[in-house]
């Protein structure tokens, strides 16, 4: 196969069922990240411009977000090149890394407190939220263990459930100690979806969902602070100057935005009315500046991400890939629903950012890494081979190999096993293939050994018929 033809197959020989989800996923991700940086600049410019610690620069937050976006893109490309199965096979290393990161958060010299929660590691001026990356590792570990249990048969039932309990239970316990109930809910929901898609008994799946919901409900209402955050969404004006202030300002933002919004950059709530306008409550600024139509467009882009992710899961090459892709896609959906539901008051506030949109290096970096894993799965997808495909790959024309002039003209991949003469179909190597050539082939293809005598040409046959008819007429005239 010539180098140019090999490159052409690499660029354009990908089936649509694989290429279309990839393109949509990449385009939708780029749109969300760029739109997020635009809204972050709009929502944070006033706060940054009036803060000497930020250099009185309106670009303070958006510059940091742009740097994280570039770094995350590079990491995502690297992950896409690496086979995801190699990462999953090192699940023990992933488990140790997850425990180390989550454990360091609880140490007094590393953990950073914010609004009553210790979720960040602050060392040397850098802040990272390990639970955002624990979502990735836990889902990949569980998917690989399910593959070993259901498909490979490496784990028996008892060992599988014990291993999953350790791999999932210990990290979730460390996350709850921060406390971070939102991340716990996202991870548990994604695992339940994975168990359903893997074909586990529905009674087991439903029972797990009920038990998980009951535990999270208990944790959300066990103390006064948690109960206040759980109930304030029903009526934020009941405690307007305290726990309901942020939600009330978000409602004002949506009301001001109306159908088409006040325009990008013209938000009123960002003038120190709405706390965390560029982070957890950035959705309220989107509703104010772009209106209901802008929110629908944002939902449409997230729907494209969901469609592309589930399509990648559908055509993944193995069970691990299908479960990882489905788990990551479900994770995006649940996190977006938690953020949107909390901002509009339909769900309790969890403090979870809006994926790709909200300000925060950890959430953006982990989201881009997730996209890299999805691309790695898609790049290793392949079409299932049918009986027709296997037979077609073994065909070739028997006979002598064509000469070098034909190979130079059409490529050695087309010439493999081809003969200019008449031959029979016989099994050959998988690389053998057919090609059709137009008439007037080179004379070198024709040899006297392989020429078949088809008799007189059409003109000669017509002339012979005319001569016979003329002779019969002449004989009749002579007898007369």
pLDDT of residue 444: 41
Residue 118: its pLDDT value, please? 65
Residue 227, phi then psi, degrees to nearest 5: -65, -40
Specify the 3-state DSSP secondary structure of 70. helix
What's the rounded mean pLDDT across residues 398-408? Answer: 46
In this prediction, residue 115 carries a pLDDT of 52
List, in sequence order, every residue forming a beta bridge with 128; answer none if it has no partner.
Answer: 121
CA 24, distance to chain mean position in Å, is 9
Q: What is the pLDDT of residues 311-322, one digit of tens each?
A: 999 999 889 999
The pLDDT score that the predictor gives to residue 476 is: 54
Measured in whole angstroms, how far is the alpha carbon of residue 12 from the centre of its chain? 20
Residue 177 has pLDDT above 50, yes or no: yes
**pLDDT tens readout for residues 340-362:** 988 888 787 777 889 999 988 88
Check residue 249 and give its pLDDT. 85
Least confident of 128-137, 188-197, 387-396: 387-396
Cα separation, 403 vs 342, in Å, equals 73
Residue 476 CA to residue 473 CA, distance in Å, equals: 5
Domain boundaries in the chain? 16-379, 387-474
Res 25: pLDDT: 95
pLDDT beyond 80 at 45? yes
- Burial grade of 264 (CB within 10 A; 0-12, 13-18, 19 or more): middle
Output the six-digit token pair for 14: 């990908």
pTM, whole model, 2 decimals?
A: 0.74
Give the integer Cα–Cα distance in Å for 330 and 186.
9
Q: Is the dihedral of CA 114, 45, 352, 81 positive or negative?
A: negative
Closest of 331, 382, 325 to residue 143, by C-alpha:
325
Identify which has the larger pLDDT, 441 or 231: 231
The bridge status of strand 117-123 relative to strand 126-128 is antiparallel
Confidence of residue 245 (pLDDT cuts 50, 70, 90): confident
| Residue-averaged pLDDT of the chain | 77
pLDDT value at residue 381: 83
Give backbone dihedrals phi and psi of 231, rounded to 5 degrees, phi first. Answer: -100, -15
Q: Count Cβ atoms below 10 Å from residue 406 Cβ, excluding itself.
A: 20
Q: Are 178 and 117 in contact (CB under 8 A)?
A: yes
What confidence score (pLDDT) does residue 73 get? Answer: 94
Angstrom CA distances, 32 to 131, 236, 302, 303, stand at 22, 30, 8, 12
φ, ψ at 112 (rounded to 5°): -115, 125
Question: Can you give the pLDDT at residue 278?
Answer: 84
284: left (phi over 0), alpha (psi -120 to 50) or beta: alpha
User: pLDDT tens for residues 52-84?
Assistant: 877 778 888 888 899 999 999 999 999 999 999
* Cα maximum dimension of the chain: 132
Nearest to 278 by CA among 60, 117, 67: 60
Mean pLDDT, range 178-183, rounded to an integer: 82
CB 261 within 8 A of CB 253: no
Point out which residues pair with 113 in neighbouring strands.
118
DSSP reduced 3-state for 106: coil
Comparison of pLDDT for 363 and 419, the residue scoring more: 363
Helix (H) or strand (E) holding 369: helix 361-379
Phi-psi region of 440 (alpha: psi -120 to 50; beta: other; left: phi over 0): left
- Rounded to whole angstroms, the Cα distance separating 148 from 151 reads 6
Rounded Cα distance between 146 and 444, Å, is: 60
- Residue 398 scores a pLDDT above 50: no
The whole-number pLDDT of residue 101 equals: 86
What is the rounded distance in angstroms from the CA atom of residue 284 to the CA atom of residue 277? 8
Condensed to tens digits (0 to 9), the pLDDT of residues 120-149 reads 777 666 678 888 899 999 999 999 999 999
Q: How confident is the model at residue 26, as a pLDDT?
A: 95
d(CA 316, CA 320): 8
- CA dist 448 → 18, 423, 457 (Å): 49, 16, 18
Cα dihedral 263, 268, 272, 275, rounded to 10, equals: -70
> When comparing pLDDT for 116 and 369, which is higher?
369
| pLDDT in the model for residue 3 | 54
Per-residue pLDDT, 397: 45
Pairwise CA distance, residues 201 & 215, whole Å: 21
- The whole-number average pLDDT for the span 408-415 is 44
Residue 1 clears pLDDT 90, i.e. is over it? no
Among candidate residues 419, 248, 299, 337, the one with its CA nearest the CA of residue 35: 299
Listed in sequence order, the DSSP H helices in 178-244 are 181-198, 202-221, 224-231
CB-CB neighbours of 479 under 10 Å: 5
Tokens of 427: 């099994």
Q: How many whole angstroms separate alpha carbon 173 and alpha carbon 446?
A: 79
Tokens of 54: 């930020």
Q: How confident is the model at residue 39 (pLDDT cuts 50, 70, 90)?
A: very high
pLDDT of residue 403 exceeding 60: no
Do residues 317 and 382 lie in contact, with contact meaning Cβ atoms separated by under 8 Å?
A: yes
Considering 211-225, 229-243, 285-299, 345-359, the range whose residues carry the highest mean pLDDT is 285-299
Task: Please give the structure tokens belonging to residue 303.
Answer: 């729907």
């Amino acid at each position: 196969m010539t180098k140019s033809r090999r490159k052409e197959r690499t660029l354009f020989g990908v089936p649509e069922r694989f290429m279309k989800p990839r393109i949509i996923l990449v385009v939708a991700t780029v749109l969300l990240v760029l739109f997020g940086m635009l809204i972050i600049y709009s929502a944070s410019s006033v706060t940054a411009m009036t803060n000497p610690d930020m250099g009185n620069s309106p670009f303070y937050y958006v510059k940091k977000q742009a740097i994280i976006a570039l770094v995350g893109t590079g990491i995502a490309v690297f992950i896409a090149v690496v086979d995801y199965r190699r990462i999953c096979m090192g699940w023990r290393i992933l488990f140790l890394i997850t425990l180390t990161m989550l454990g360091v958060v609880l140490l007094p010299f590393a953990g950073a407190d914010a609004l009553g929660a210790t979720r960040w590691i602050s060392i040397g001026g850098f802040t990272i939220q390990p639970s955002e990356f624990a979502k990735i590792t836990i889902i990949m570990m569980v998917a690989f263990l399910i593959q070993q249990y259901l498909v490979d048969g490496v784990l028996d039932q008892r060992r599988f459930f014990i291993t999953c309990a350790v791999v999932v239970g210990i990290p979730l316990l460390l996350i709850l100690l921060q406390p971070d109930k939102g991340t716990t809910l996202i991870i548990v929901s994604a695992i339940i979806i994975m168990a359903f898609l893997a074909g586990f008994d529905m009674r087991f799946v439903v029972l797990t969902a009920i038990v998980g919901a009951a535990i999270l409900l208990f944790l959300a209402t066990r103390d006064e602070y948690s109960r206040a955050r759980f109930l304030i969404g029903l009526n934020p004006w009941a405690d307007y100057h305290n726990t309901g202030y942020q939600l009330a300002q978000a409602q004002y933002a949506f009301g001001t935005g109306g159908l088409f919004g006040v325009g990008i950059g013209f938000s009123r709530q960002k003038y120190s009315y709405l706390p965390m306008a560029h982070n957890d409550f950035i959705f309220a600024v989107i509703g104010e500046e772009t209106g209901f139509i802008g929110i629908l467009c944002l939902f449409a882009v997230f729907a494209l991400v969901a469609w592309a992710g589930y399509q990648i899961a559908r055509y993944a090459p193995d069970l691990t890939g299908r479960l990882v892709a489905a788990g990551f896609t479900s994770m995006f959906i649940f996190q977006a629903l938690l953020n949107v539901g909390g901002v509009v008051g339909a769900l309790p506030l969890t403090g979870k950012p809006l994926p790709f949109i909200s300000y925060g290096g950890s959430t953006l970096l982990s989201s881009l890494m997730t996209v890299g894993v999805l691309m790695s799965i898609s790049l290793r997808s392949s079409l299932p081979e049918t009986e027709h495909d296997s037979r077609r790959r073994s065909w070739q024309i028997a006979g002598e190999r064509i000469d070098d002039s034909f190979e130079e003209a059409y490529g050695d991949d087309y010439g493999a096993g081809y003969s200019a003469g008449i031959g029979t179909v016989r099994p050959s190597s998988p690389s053998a293939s057919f090609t059709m050539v137009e008439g007037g082939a080179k004379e070198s293809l024709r040899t006297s050994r392989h020429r078949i005598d088809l008799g007189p040409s059409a003109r000669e046959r017509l002339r012979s018929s005319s001569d016979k008819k003329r002779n019969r007429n002449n004989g009749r005239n002579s007898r007369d």
